[in-house]
Amino acid sequence: MSAALSGAVDLSGLKARAEAAQQQPAGAPAGTAATPAAGGAAVIDVSEATFQAEVVDRSMHTLVVVDLWAEWCGPCKQLSPLLEKLAAEANGAWVLAKIDVDANPRISQLFGVQSIPTVVAIAGGQPVHAFSGAQPEPQIRQWLDSLLDELRDKLPGISAAEQAGAADVEEEQEDPRFTEAEDALERGDYAAAEAAYERILDAEPVNEQAKAALVQVRFAARASKADPSAVSRAEAAPEDLDAQLAAADVEVAQQRVEDAFARLVAAVRRTSGEDRNRVREHLVGLFDLFDPADERVLKARRDLASALF
């Protein structure tokens, strides 16, 4: 998922522009002058004018994760809220810098962005890792954990934030059963995480948190084995049910949720008997990954009912 970028991009190219923008007189157009966020902010909006202070300078102390997005980008609308949630949970161990590529084209050009969303990790004033496209939460957590482990001894802000976070956690009583499952998930050991959540449900069949987590883990395990070429195979062979189911998993993992749902609804329309039931069950299982009130789920449920009846 990630790519090393150390030394590949010179971020100093925006420094002069940023300094000039900061010296603009009062009354300059909104968004042209630097407006540094509060020091404790987990998520900050960054422009070309504030890039030097909020990204480059800040990265000398702690990890800055840059989210390059645009309003028209569908996958961005799935990835950005997830990154914001993870940043809020990080207790300051890293900061999320959101950059609208349409409003800040020079930054996009600086990174050589080919597609969005693109996420770039900045440390010590330089990019160190990056990935493009929406990714499942377990993979992003694993990517961040790996970065923090790699940079902990190099950036003092990471250790300080983690120590503060650990002190806060000690005030709360953690459930060791969930800790076991989450640790396994962070290691990428889906089987162990699944077994841990199943043990919780064996003892507490109505534990909604464990139920939801188990659904997510099972999908993550399945998606991690999916062949990325499944989508092209499915397009070439609409009658191949295995390819259609695998392609839907790949699309959901890539945050192309509407595409996955539409694919399986179309497969339901084309099939009958046991084949139709197999597709329906797979689609309903994908619904369980999302909030029941999610508009995409509600629409797909209506489409499925129309296809069935």
Residue 14 placed within a domain: yes
Full residue range of the structural domain in which residue 180 is found: 174-224
Q: Which residue has the tokens 């790996």?
A: 146
Q: Does 178 lie in the same domain as 67?
A: no
pLDDT band of residue 1 (cuts 50, 70, 90) is low
Tell me the mean pLDDT in the region 136-164.
Answer: 81
56, 57, 63, 69 alpha-carbon torsion, rounded to 10°: -40
What are the φ and ψ backbone dihedral angles of 26, each rounded to 5 degrees? -60, 145
Q: Which residue has the tokens 């190219």?
A: 13
Give yes or no: 285 in active site.
no
Q: Does 202 lie in the same domain as 242?
A: no
pLDDT at 117 over 60: yes
pLDDT at 21 over 50: no
254-294 tens-digit pLDDT: 889 999 999 999 999 999 999 999 999 999 999 999 888 88
Q: Does 12 lie in the same domain as 135?
A: yes
Q: Which residue has the tokens 């190099």?
A: 154
State residue 151's pLDDT score: 87
State residue 228's pLDDT score: 81
Residue 53 placed within a domain: yes
pLDDT band of residue 160 (cuts 50, 70, 90) is low
How many other C-beta atoms are found inside a 10 Å radius of the C-beta of residue 60?
14
pLDDT at 8 over 60: no
What are the φ and ψ backbone dihedral angles of 170, each rounded to 5 degrees? -60, -20
Q: Does 24 lie in the same domain as 120?
A: yes
Q: Does 181 lie in the same domain as 80?
A: no
Q: Does 42 lie in the same domain as 95?
A: yes
Choosing from 76, 246, 250, 252, the catalytic residue is 76
Residue 146 placed within a domain: yes
pLDDT at 91 over 90: no
Is residue 8 left, alpha or beta, with left meaning phi > 0 and alpha meaning psi from -120 to 50?
A: alpha
State residue 3's pLDDT score: 56
Q: Please report, rounded to a whole number, the percentage of residues in the chain having pLDDT higher than 70.
A: 82
Residue 243 placed within a domain: yes
For the chain, the residue count is 309
State which of 179-188, 220-229, 281-290 shows the largest mean pLDDT: 281-290
Choosing from 18, 56, 73, 241, the catalytic residue is 73
Q: Does 234 lie in the same domain as 205?
A: no
Give yes or no: 76 in active site.
yes
The packing angle between helices 190-203 and 208-224, to 10°, is 160
SS3 content of the chain, % helix, strand, coil (to 5): 60, 10, 30
What are the φ and ψ backbone dihedral angles of 65, each rounded to 5 degrees? -105, 115
Q: Which residue has the higher pLDDT, 70 or 157?
A: 70
For residues 21 and 32, give the distance between their C-alpha atoms in angstroms, rounded to a whole number. 6
Q: Please report, rounded to a whole number, the percentage of residues in the chain having pLDDT higher than 90.
A: 54
Tell me the mean pLDDT in the region 90-96.
Answer: 90
Residue 18 placed within a domain: yes
Give me the half-sphere count of Cα atoms (radius 13 Å) on the Cβ side of residue 271: 21
Q: Does 79 lie in the same domain as 208?
A: no
Q: Are 65 and 95 in contact (CB under 8 A)?
A: yes
Identify any residues that bridge with 130 across adjacent strands, giving them in sequence order: 3, 120
How many other C-beta atoms are found inside a 10 Å radius of the C-beta of residue 150?
16
pLDDT at 22 over 50: no
Q: How many domains does the chain have?
A: 3
Q: Does 148 lie in the same domain as 25?
A: yes
- Which helix (H) or strand (E) segment holds residue 244: the answer is helix 241-253
Q: Are 156 and 97 in contact (CB under 8 A)?
A: no
For residue 75, cis peptide bond before it (omega within 30 degrees of 0): no
Tell me the mean pLDDT in the region 296-309.
Answer: 93
Tell me the mean pLDDT in the region 200-219.
Answer: 90
Q: Which residue has the higher pLDDT, 108 or 11?
A: 108
pLDDT at 10 over 60: no
Residue 165 placed within a domain: no
Q: Does 117 lie in the same domain as 248?
A: no
